[in-house]
Amino acid sequence: MHPALSTPLCDLLGMRAPIVQTGMGWVATPELVAAVCNAGAFGFLAAATIPPERVGEAIERTKALTERPFGVNFLMDAPGADVIADAIVRHRVRAAGYNRAPDAKRIARLKEAGVACVPTCGHPKHAEKAEKLGADAIVVQGGEGGGHTGSVPTSLLVAQAADRVRVPVIAAGGFRDGRGLVAALAFGAAGVAMGTRFLLTAESPVPEVTKRRYLEASVDDVVVTREIDGLPQRVVRNELLRRLEGSGGIGGLALALRSALALRRETGASLRELLAAGFAMRRSERLTRRQLLMAANAPILARTAMLDGDPVHGYLPSGTVAGVIDDVPTCAELVERIVREAEATLAALTRS
């Protein structure tokens, strides 16, 4: 492989190519994570949508499918966060991913156990804070990214963050191929993180009917909305979003009550735990009361599309890159293609 692709991130996470699969709820299953790692990249298991007491089982399942190192992504302010951290340490997972409300004590505990800490940030000052709290690498997601997102383009955000921190920066938001990987390295990143591109692979658990909605979307169909849970989210426009946009806000709040009850059943968390987590999130992210009420919508509505195979009544979190993806390769095919394209791009740039 071209020496430019062997970055410090590869050494930190134990992977061949500097490509990271993000911890997408309902999507980043043991099967997908193992396929990504076996292909030479690095995958994060999504623990946020697994009952905390079952995260250990999911880690064991992933280990049974790959001998390569992998990570676990979770929410540090959610019910059961300590149980998940225990599982990460007990099973000697290579890396922990997190974003919302980083907890200094949990980070210190993970680091003491030799776990690489890899948070996701959307602003240079947040990246600086993450480094001070002990981050070993930082995913920096620009506005092109899927799900909750900011407004600063990836090209500007990654370059700023790389100039302000010393740990490896992983560029996220808008990446799908080898040319993008080379561009990220030029911005100062040590690799790329991809969600939507890995969602559209053969090993992804997303039902075919939902994958088709992504493949059919144009760039103009991928929009930012606050209708799902009150925070800016990039999604593929569908029937659910059109219905919420026409409800004047009342539909989202009514849906939130049903979503909260469903989330309680799904996670096994008590009402007290959910309320405590909600208020912690409100403090850390400065949410309004309306946003707090709507917070349960995102995970449950994502499950409807990603797990139940109903892209009409669920929502479709997506990076803008969905508008230019038109195939569903295996993870091995995808990673090999990205590496090959990156090497060709580097060769073209250095050809005399």
User: 39-50 burial, b if ≥16 CB within 10 A, otherwise e?
Assistant: bbbbbbbbbbbb
- pTM value is 0.90
Q: What's the confidence (pLDDT) of residue 265?
A: 59
Q: What's the confidence (pLDDT) of residue 284?
A: 56
pLDDT digits (tens, 9 = 90+) for 32-89: 999 999 999 999 999 999 999 999 999 999 999 999 999 999 999 888 999 999 999 9
- Residue 210 and residue 239 in contact, taking contact as beta carbons nearer than 8 Å: no
- Residue 129 and residue 149 in contact, taking contact as beta carbons nearer than 8 Å: no
Q: What's the confidence (pLDDT) of residue 101?
A: 76
Plot region of 40 (φ>0 → left; ψ -120 to 50 → alpha; else → beta): left
Q: What's the confidence (pLDDT) of residue 229?
A: 77
Q: What's the confidence (pLDDT) of residue 228?
A: 81
Question: Residue 61 in 3-state DSSP?
Answer: helix
Q: Three-class SS string for 229-273?
A: CCCCEEEECCHHHHHHHCCCCHHHHHHHHHHHHHHHHHHCCCHHH
pLDDT digits (tens, 9 = 90+) for 174-183: 999 999 999 9
Q: Which residue has the tokens 């690095």?
A: 42
Plot region of 191 (φ>0 → left; ψ -120 to 50 → alpha; else → beta): left
Domains in the chain, CATH or no CATH each: 3-204+328-350 (3.20.20.70), 208-320 (no CATH)
- Residue 117 and residue 95 in contact, taking contact as beta carbons nearer than 8 Å: yes
Cα gap 129→127, rounded to integer Å: 5
Cα gap 71→58, rounded to integer Å: 12
Q: What's the confidence (pLDDT) of residue 258?
A: 62
Q: What's the confidence (pLDDT) of residue 282?
A: 47
Name residues of the chain where pLDDT drops below 50. Answer: 282
